[in-house]
Amino acid sequence: MPGMVVFGRRWGIASDDLVFPGCVELFVRILWWIGTVILYCYHKGHFDCNGRGVLHSYLVGLLVVLAFIILSLCAIVYISAQGTITNPGPRRSIPALVYLRALLYIPELVWACLGAVWVSDDSKGCDPATVGAVISAVIASWIILLFTVVGVVFVFDPLGNPRPEPSVIEPLGVRDMQSSERSQFFSTARTLAVKVWECRLRLLCCCLPQDESHRAAFSSISQLFSRFFSDTDLVASDIAAGLALLHQEQDRLDHSRDPSVVLSHSPSSPIEEDLEAELEKAAHFMQFAAAAYGWPLYIYSNLLTGPCKLSGDCCRSRAAEYEVVGGDHLSCHFSSILHSTGLQYRDFIYVSFHNQIYEIPFYVALDHKREAVLVAVRGTLSLKDVLTDLSAECENLPIEGVSGACYAHKGISQAAGYIYRKLINDGILNQAFSVAPEYKLVITGHSLGAGTAALLAILLRNSFPTLQCYSFSPPGGLISKAIADYSKDFVVSVVLGKDLVPRLSIPNMEDLKRRILKIVSNCTKPKYRILLQGCWYELFGGDTDDFPTEMDDRRAQQLSQPLLGEESLIIRPSSSYQSFASDDSPAHTATHLPLFLPGRVLHITEDGPTRRSCFSQVRYRAEWSNEMAFRSILISPRMLTDHMPDAVLRALNSLTSEKPYSLCPSTLNNSQDNTI
């Protein structure tokens, strides 16, 4: 629901978000009160140490203060648990209870100071257990006050002015003047929102140099974030509840859908042979894409043996052998690449670990097994790479021979341009092909590196007509439809399971936001129950029929309470927002330009049940899909783990070694992913 309005401003917390923190504090306060009662009863009638009057007053006052706090917390928890996300009527008294609870911090602070004075001045000769108990009570008071201050800072909303009440109907001239003032107000609010997001990014990236390129990136990302988050009136817990409901709804639809019929193909089928050959190549080149991450991924994938293998190589002096390497001060990155790929020092033409915004590490090597000059681009591994990822506005990318609109992800396009200039202007590719003129060019990468590799391949296509690109888990919002169609002849994108990143684009995020707004508006359960059941469902599963989300049985007395509709969760109309009466994806009508995955899409999924034992063998299924099947974000616990490079490499190795998989060469028209 909308953020709670107290103390004259809107906060980043709703009136139904106080259940869990209230229960935690209530549990602590009850234990504290019981301990104080025991201490008071133990000393009742014989406060015979120094300062006994102060100690007696402290214990009695503490019992009274704790009793009032416990009662106020019980009321807050009970009231906060009433209603639903969009039905705040039963929680109308929450602001008054918050004011009461805030007032009770004053006597608690006074009593904490009183206890501290007694311990420091009048506790001599008293029972050490009593002194320790009072010290514990004083420390507990200060800790709770500290956590309260941290919580207030955490939920503070710099843009948290209360939403203005809708104005009454006025004559036309007055209404036009108010409309102009409202537009000016929203323009000022948007400018302020951009500045706030820019300050947040600067604070988050305070360790980075504040040069012109970083300032431009901060400004671009801030405008994107402010536009995306400023048109809704939801708090973080509303989004979490919506994601939990969407996951359950998605699983319910999957379970109710009839199993798809897979047509059998003969072993000599050209489509199947093409798929099997591409899987073999993809498994091979994924090793190089994963190796580009350097020692962090190598250590993560080889926890027992990795540190021992690298310890003998790092910091060793090899000045002559490392002439091609730049930016690897301790040589650990390059050593891990050697271990991961099995190549020799002489096989590397150029290795760069230089990393700035729009400038990402890559290496060029000779792959003798596949007779290829290989360019491998690293994925996201630093804060600078994250800024490159988040620069998601569109940028024109004119490609010779491509008709139609040509544009691409700005940050990734800039990164591809940087590597392109290094390869061509510095003569790196000329040097490689002078060593192996008969080899072909192959470009690969994972995640950010996959998107960069695809755009780099598109830029180099006219100069190297036979090049190939293997793009593993590329970002979904990458290139326009015209460039995506153009790249199908030489780019293969590999996507594992329900990976979030290949489905991540601004239109898809707008679609997800619309679906969250719709599902939380139609849910009859209080938020705390949604979150509890959502956590249980993610951890242990369950029957999706036990998680109803639609408001089917509204009673008249329920509807008599103030109910926030779907439209009332929108602060102001957004260019990307559609009416809830339509179920069409805004990806088709949003003002944000649609961006797609590059090339042909090879989708790998797990065969069998969604939830399986940790010791059961994983069976994979591979099929050709298309970029239109990734227009909606799937909610799943594996939406992030499926993106990890080691998971992609493990799936490809499983597909090509013992072949515990099924080849499903479905046509592009019939290959559609399950969407929410």
Q: What pLDDT is attached to residue 120?
A: 79
**Residue predicted with more confidence, 255 or 296:** 296
Q: What pLDDT is attached to residue 219?
A: 75
Express each pLDDT in 612-628 by its tens digit.
555 567 788 999 998 88
Position 207 pLDDT exceeds 80:
no
Give me Rg for the CA atoms of the chain. 30
Q: What pLDDT is attached to residue 616?
A: 62
Position 110 pLDDT exceeds 60:
yes
Computed over every residue of the chain, the mean pLDDT equals 79
**How far is the C-alpha of 487 from the C-alpha of 596, rounded, in Å?**
11
Active site residues: 447, 499
Q: What pLDDT is attached to residue 183?
A: 57
pLDDT band at 118 (very low <50, low <70, confident <90, very high): confident
Strand 362-367 and strand 372-377: the pairing is antiparallel
User: 60-74, 437-451, 505-519 — which is least confidently predicted?
Assistant: 505-519
What does the angle CA 91 – CA 33 – CA 19 come to, to the nearest 5 degrees? 25
Q: What pLDDT is attached to residue 368?
A: 94
**How far is the C-alpha of 472 from the C-alpha of 448, rounded, in Å?**
9
Q: What pLDDT is attached to residue 380?
A: 93
User: 76-90, 149-163, 419-433 — which is least confidently predicted?
Assistant: 149-163
Please name the residue that has the structure tokens 């004559």.
171
E-strand ranges in 97-222 read: none
Name the CATH topology of 270-506+598-657: Rossmann fold (3.40.50)
3-state secondary structure at position 625? strand
Domain ranges (residues) in the chain: 5-155, 270-506+598-657
DSSP lists the bridge partners of residue 376 as: 363, 444
Output the DSSP codes for 507-557. HHHHHHHHHHHHHHHT--S-HHHHHHHHHHHHHH---GGGS--S-----HH
Q: What pLDDT is attached to residue 416?
A: 96
**How far is the C-alpha of 480 from the C-alpha of 492, rounded, in Å?**
16
Mean pLDDT score, 18-40: 91
pLDDT band at 580 (very low <50, low <70, confident <90, very high): very low
Mean pLDDT score, 301-321: 68
CA dihedral 494, 498, 499, 502 (to 10 degrees): 60
Position 665 pLDDT exceeds 50:
no
CA contacts within 13 A on the Cβ side of 60: 8
Express each pLDDT in 392-402 by its tens digit.
888 899 888 88
Q: Is the C-alpha dihedral spanning 82, 85, 89, 92 positive or negative?
A: positive
From 5, 11, 159, 12, select the one nearest 572 (Cα to Cα). Answer: 159
Among left, alpha and beta (phi > 0; psi -120 to 50; other), residue 541 is left
pLDDT band at 484 (very low <50, low <70, confident <90, very high): very high
Report which secondary-structure segment, H or E, holds 661. strand 661-664
**Residue predicted with more confidence, 658 or 29:** 29
Global pTM reads 0.79
Three state DSSP letters for 551-602: CCCCCHHHHCCCCCCCHHHECCCCCCCCCCCCCCCHHHCCCCCCCECCCEEE
Q: Taking a C-beta distance cutoff of 8 angstroms, is the pair 376, 292 a contact?
A: yes
Q: What pLDDT is attached to residue 180?
A: 58
Q: Taking a C-beta distance cutoff of 8 angstroms, is the pair 415, 409 a contact?
A: no
Q: What are phi and psi of 553, to 5 degrees?
A: -120, 60
**How far is the C-alpha of 426 from the C-alpha of 97, rounded, in Å?**
68
Angle between helices 19-43 and 52-80 (to 10 degrees): 150
Express each pLDDT in 86-107 by its tens digit.
888 899 999 999 999 999 999 9
Q: What pLDDT is attached to residue 471?
A: 97
Copy the structure tokens of residue 46. 């014989």
Report which secondary-structure segment, H or E, holds 500. none
Q: How far from chain centre, in Å, is Cα 133?
A: 44
Burial of 600 (0-12, 13-18, 19+ CB in 10 A): buried
DSSP lists the bridge partners of residue 446 as: 472
Amino acid identity, residue 488?
K
DSSP lists the bridge partners of residue 374 as: 365, 442
Alpha helices per DSSP H over 81-127: 94-103, 105-117
CA contacts within 13 A on the Cβ side of 597: 34
C-alpha distances (whole Å) from 503 to each of 57, 274, 596, 640, 675 are 63, 25, 9, 12, 11
User: 148-157, 408-417, 582-591 — which is least confidently predicted?
Assistant: 582-591
From 244, 229, 253, select the one nearest 85 (Cα to Cα). Answer: 244
Q: Taking a C-beta distance cutoff of 8 angstroms, is the pair 218, 497 a contact?
A: no
Strand 491-496 and strand 468-472: the pairing is parallel
Percent of the chain exceeding pLDDT 70 equals: 71
Copy the structure tokens of residue 564. 């926030």
Burial of 153 (0-12, 13-18, 19+ CB in 10 A): exposed
Q: What pLDDT is attached to residue 177?
A: 47
Please name the residue that has the structure tokens 């948290």.
160
Alpha helices per DSSP H over 312-409: 332-341, 383-390
Residue 254: count of CB within 10 angstroms of its CB? 12
What does the angle CA 2 – CA 81 – CA 62 come to, to the nearest 5 degrees? 105
